[in-house]
Every structure is written in C-alpha cells, then in structure tokens.
Amino acid sequence: MTRPLRSALTRSTLKWTAMGVSAFALLAVAGCEQTTRQTEAGSSYEDQASQTEATVKAEPVETAEPPASTTQSRAAEMLRGGDDATPQQAKEFLEAAAKDIEAMNEYASRAAWVNANFITEDTAWLLTKASTEYAEMQTRLANGAKKFNDIKLPADMERKMGTLKRGSNFPAPETEGSAARLASIMTKLDGLYGKGRFAVDVEDKRIIEILDTNEEGDDDFGKLGEEAPKGTIHLGQATKIMAESRDPELLQTIWEGWRTISPPMAKDYDTMVGIVNEGSEELGFKDTGALWRSGYDMPADDFTKEADRLWGQVKPLYNQLHCYVRFELNSEYGDEVVPLDKPIRADLLGNMWAQQWGNVYPMVEPKGFNAKSVDITALLIENEYDQEKMVRTGEEFFTSMGFEELPDTFWKRSLITKPADRDVQCHASAWDIDDKEDIRIKMCTTITGEDFQTVHHELGHNIYQRAYQDQPVFYKTGANDGFHEAIGDMIALSITPEYLVKIGLMDEEDIPSAEGDIPILLRQGMDKVAFLPFSLVVDQWRWQVFSGEISPEQYNEGWWELRTKYQGIEAPADRPADAFDPGAKYHIPGNTPYMRYFLAHILQFQFHKAACDMSGFEGPLHRCSVYGNKDVGERFDAMMKMGASKPWPDALEAFTGQRTMDGTALLEYFAPLQVWLEEQNEGRECGWDMPEE
C-alpha cells in the first residue's frame, strides 16, 4: 500500500498515510490507503479559521528524538483533548504525531522489505515486532485525535486529524495485547500465502510439458525434479498451467489444488475481523468496512452508492464481453463444460482467480481480420530484452515526459528478478522506504508483454511517491487510493503500436491498420473490462464480513454468491465444507483493500482522455500515446504533488477539469469493441440469471 504500510501494487510497507497500515504487506498501491476524507470542516469550520489560526503559535514542539525502533511516543504527552482542549494543543499534538510517524516509517518499511524478500521465521518475527509497534502507535494517535473531536479547527488541521483516526485499515483496539495479537495474525496470514504450495502428480505428462525447464538431452528432461520438490508446486507454476493448459480436467485439478492452501487461514481471519472491528468501533465507525469507505471525501454510505453508480455505467460493456467469451468457449469445450445459459466455470478463463481473461484470447480471437497483430512478448524476446532493460524502458517513458531519472539507489536496491535460492513475495509492488529518494520496486519480472506493462505501472507509483515527498507526512499518499493505481495504468494505456515503434521494439510498417483495432481492443478488454466486477467483489465481500452480513460459516458461500452475481462465474465443482476460497487471493490474507483497483480502472481512462485532449490528439482514444509530451507531464506532476492535501475532487479537477469520477471515458475507449460485440451477440441469450424452462 502505500503509505501506511504503503505498498503499491506497491507494497511499501508499513507506512503512514491516510489510510492505513495494512500491515506489512499491503500490496496494493502506493497510496493505497484511504487517504483523504472530507472532514466536517469545510464551510462549518471556515467561519472560524482565521480566528482560530490567530491563536495557534508557530513554534515547533521541543522533544527528544526517540529511537526509531521503539514506540515511545512524543505525542503521548500531548493527549490533553476533551472539554478543555484548545486549537494550540491540537497543533502541538499534530506536530508531535508527525514526528512519531516519521521516526517509525523507515524502520517499519525496512522490516517489511526484508520480510518480503527473505520469508523466514526470523524475518517474520522482525516484521511482527515492527508492525506491533506501528499498530500501537497508530492506535494511540487515533485515540488521541478523537479527543479533539469537539473543538473547531482550521480545515487543514481537521483533515490531518481525520487521517490519524483512519490511520490503519486494520486498527487494533486499546486493550492491552491486542496490537501484538493482531500483528501476529496478520503476519501469519501473509506468510501462509507466501509459502503456499500444493501437491501434484509429478508423472502427469500434461504438467511436465508445461513446467519442465530442462532441455532435451538433460538427465532431468521430462521430469519434475527441481521444479516440484517433494511433489509440490508454487503459485507461479500453477499460474503458468492455468494460463497455458486447455484441458478442463487439469485446470480444475490445479484450480482446486491452489485453494488447499487457504482453509488454515479461516479461523485466524475470523479472529482478526473481530479485533479490527473492535478497533474501528473505538474510533467511532460502525465497523471496519465503514472505516474504509469513510476515506473518500464523502460519507461511507454515499461511497457505496458511488461505486454502484460507476459499475452501472460500465456493466453493459462487461455483459456483452461475457456473452461473447462464453459462446466462444462453448464452441471449444461443448455444452457439458460451458453451458450457454449458466455462469462460466472459473477455471476456464486462463487466470487463477478469473479476474483477467487475456490468456484465453487465442480461443476467442475474432475471425476474418487480416490486419497484423502485436505480440509484445515476442517483440521483447526478438529484441533481446532482459528484465533490467524492461525496467529502464519504463523509466525512459517518464523521463520523456519531463520527470527526473530514477535514483542510483533504485537500481541497487530493487528486486527485479526472482531469486533462485529463497522464497519471496513475487506480487509486483512499488516501495518508498524513507519518504524521500529511496524508492524501489519488487517483482519477479518475466520477459512478457504483461510484465512490460506492469513495470510501467509500478514505476508510476514510484514517480507519484517522489512527487509528493515534500507534503506533510499525513498527505504522502494518493488523492484517493484509486489515484495511485490509475496513474501507473494510465501510462500503460500509452503503450500503443506507435509507442513501440518510437522505442525501437517494432517497425513502422508493422503497425496494424485501423482494421486491426477490434482484435487489439478485445485483447485489452479481456483484462481491463473483465477485471471490473472482480475488483468490486473483493471488497463487497469484506464489507459484508465486517458488518456481520456474511458470518464465518458463510465465508465461502457468500464469496461465490457475489462472484456469480457480479462476474457471472462459478466454481468448477461443489466446494468442500471447510473451503476458504477468498484466502486464495493475496489481498485477503495480505489485508489490502481492493476498491482502489476498481476506481483505478475508471480513473485511468479518465486521466488518459484528459491527457490526450490536452496533447491535441484527434484520433480514436485507444490509439493515443502521450509518450514524449512534456506539457502533459508538467500538468500531471502538478496533480501528483498535491498528494492527499486536498479532497480528491480538487486533484481530479487539477488534471482533468472534472470533479466527479466518470466511466464514460472507458466506454469511449472501447466503443468500437462494444458495437462489434453487440453485433456478434445478436440473437444469443446473454446473462446468467435466465429462468429454467
């Protein structure tokens, strides 16, 4: 998340910011936290702002510098709120709190970085210690901030108090030992996922064909020795099988196998929910879901409606895509495997979680288009790219827009390739270790078009982190948590054929004609459009878990009800009674809020359209690249430098001229595809809730 445990698709780690320290691993976006929330300030406080500010002195609080690795709190002495609280006391409390947070951030970030890169019992212990201290600090500061609830403060101070009260996505209650217990559970859950492996039949030729890394003639050719120690495989290998196999039986076996790692998480997850709900209630929130939703500069219930509104805008496009893909899969697998009046089996869509469908694109590729296609993976291999060159190419995109080069420490300290000698958290993430220049990425990069885009995405987090480095610690995060993700993804939208020509990856004569736009847009849509409902489901499920609407006994049933409702997919077979399938998705045991990804998939197109408009581009939106446009870079930088210092509508307006999130830019981008899909689906029964005859 980004700041509080800032991770960004990023995992910065334990870092503060408006939304929370999801513990050590948040993997979600560098600003991944909630971040700004509209305070009751605004008009009600503006009347007194000038009078109140006149009573606030400018001198900083004089305190001794505590060791960064302790939770000794200078702010502890400032908790003098209540009936006699004054604006001056609030100012002193905020200044002391900022020093506490800054002192803790780097220590906690380094502990999280080491654990993510060396997953052992010892590093887990270090991370638990750091996260316990961090959680205790957050709890103390959040409860301290509550003491100033009843006094009028300038809007900026009120905003900072709000970020303290929302300091953690997973707050521990004040009860002694709660923070330590919570940190231990969260670290355990994260570790269970990171070390997850499951047994396979090492004699299965279908598996050997995909996973065997030996060359013909090697002693181990045709065997799974090093690839499957003790007859088990890890997620990366399972993901490869899911992407490449077209055997429904094998896909079901691998899909079910990965989900054997998560049942041991369920009891601890339930315990964690109880702890963080208690902590959220102490802070004045109905439950933890309400706390999460309160950080979008609007009341929590209004944000629920806002998410539904945005989904309603884009749902018709998703429904057309679902209908088309199901029909094509039916042509491949037949009615028994893919009935045309039922949800699609979740294991048939080329992804372990059916969140993106691009890996099965060859099965649904449109016929009759003679235009050339673009295979970025093949281009990377043909041009002898290695992992570092992929990252340096991503860096050059940003420098072409006027941003500074990445610091030397980035190249020395980032993890760009998967080590062969140890377990690491491979999920791609961007880190800001010291709130200054020590920015890094961590990903097990492969030479693929997907990772080429991911590199651009992660670097977007780093560029954003560096842009707001001069903001107060309370505001070092995205304008809302969707902004961080959207910025990286907006850049990836500029990876057009024209861009690939400019960087020398392909020749100009190989640029597809307009006739080839439909296949390209379909391939993109199978990732970006298919992802939209999944990105809603993850937090819809957690909101209902936190509220008690879904009980522990219903964890799995509730998960699949939502996935069928929104995505139109279902498990390949009845699930075991002890199944905990949500835990097979990193962001659940990694405790990373997911709504940011849904918002990012809306905002990235909104940003992209605004950037293309200001660049003067006049063609179809999906053909636009802002590579090399320094005017766009300058305005983009101005928005990013705001961090979370203003409500997100202000930041959005600074770049796009609009104050509301809007899905129409996404619809414009995919407009040719939607028209084509509607033509293909004419006469078909679309949907998955059709009554039985």
In a domain, 338, yes or no: no
Among candidate residues 457, 484, 601, 622, the one labeled active-site is 457
203 in a domain, yes or no? yes
Which member of 461, 484, 601, 622 is catalytic?
Answer: 461
Q: How many C-beta neighbours within 10 Å does residue 168 have?
A: 34
Active site residue 485: yes
Q: Which of 135, 458, 608, 622 is catalytic?
A: 458
Q: Which two tokens stand for residue 519?
A: 């296949």
Query: Catalytic site residue 622?
Result: no
Which amino acid is residue 553, in one-letter code? E
Q: In angstroms, rounded to a whole number, what is the distance separating the alpha carbons of residues 224 and 234? A: 13
Residue 666 neighbours by CB under 8 Å, 6+ apart: 314, 317, 528, 529, 601, 602, 605, 606
Catalytic residue chosen out of the listed positions 322, 587, 601, 622: 587
Torsion of the alpha carbons at 284, 583, 480 and 599, rounded to the nearest 10: -130
Does any domain span residue 552?
no
pLDDT along the chain (693 residues), means of 10: 33 36 28 27 25 33 37 50 78 95 91 92 91 84 87 94 87 88 92 93 92 68 75 92 96 98 97 95 92 92 94 97 98 97 97 96 90 86 96 97 96 94 88 92 93 93 95 94 90 93 94 87 95 97 97 97 97 96 96 93 97 95 96 96 96 96 98 97 88 42
pLDDT at res. 374: 84
Active site (annotated) includes residue 365: no
Active-site position among 107, 324, 464, 597: 597
Q: Number of folded domains in the chain? A: 1
Cβ-based neighbours of 168, under 8 Å, separated by 6 or more: 4, 20, 21, 22, 135, 138, 139, 142, 279
Active-site choice (28, 103, 179, 427): 427
Tell me, yes or no, whether 474 lies in a domain.
Answer: no
Q: Which of 485, 486, 611, 651 is flagged as catalytic? A: 485
627 is catalytic: no
Beta bridge partners of 431: 440
CB-CB neighbours of 129 under 10 Å: 17
CA distance 405 to 394: 11
| Domain with 238 in it | 197-260
575 within a domain of the structure (yes/no): no
Question: Among this protein's residues, is 121 annotated catalytic?
Answer: no
| Catalytic site includes residue 679 | no
Residues of the chain by 3-state class (helix, strand, coil), percent to 5: 55, 5, 40
Pairing, β 439-442 against β 569-570:
unpaired
Q: What is the pLDDT of residue 45?
A: 22
Determine, yes or no, domain membership for 228. Answer: yes
Task: Give a yes or no: residue 39 inside a domain.
Answer: no
Instruction: Quote the pLDDT of residue 215.
Output: 65
**Cα end-to-end span (Å), the chain:** 48
234 noted as active-site residue:
no
Question: Is 602 inside a domain boundary?
Answer: no
Residue with tokens 């041009």: 383
DSSP 418-466: --SSS----S-EEEESSSSS-EEEE----SSHHHHHHHHHHHHHHHHHH
Active site residue 597: yes
Contact between 582 and 560 (Cβ < 8 Å): no
Which one of the listed residues 428, 600, 644, 651 is annotated catalytic? 428
Rounded to the nearest 5°, which phi and psi values hold at 13? 120, -155
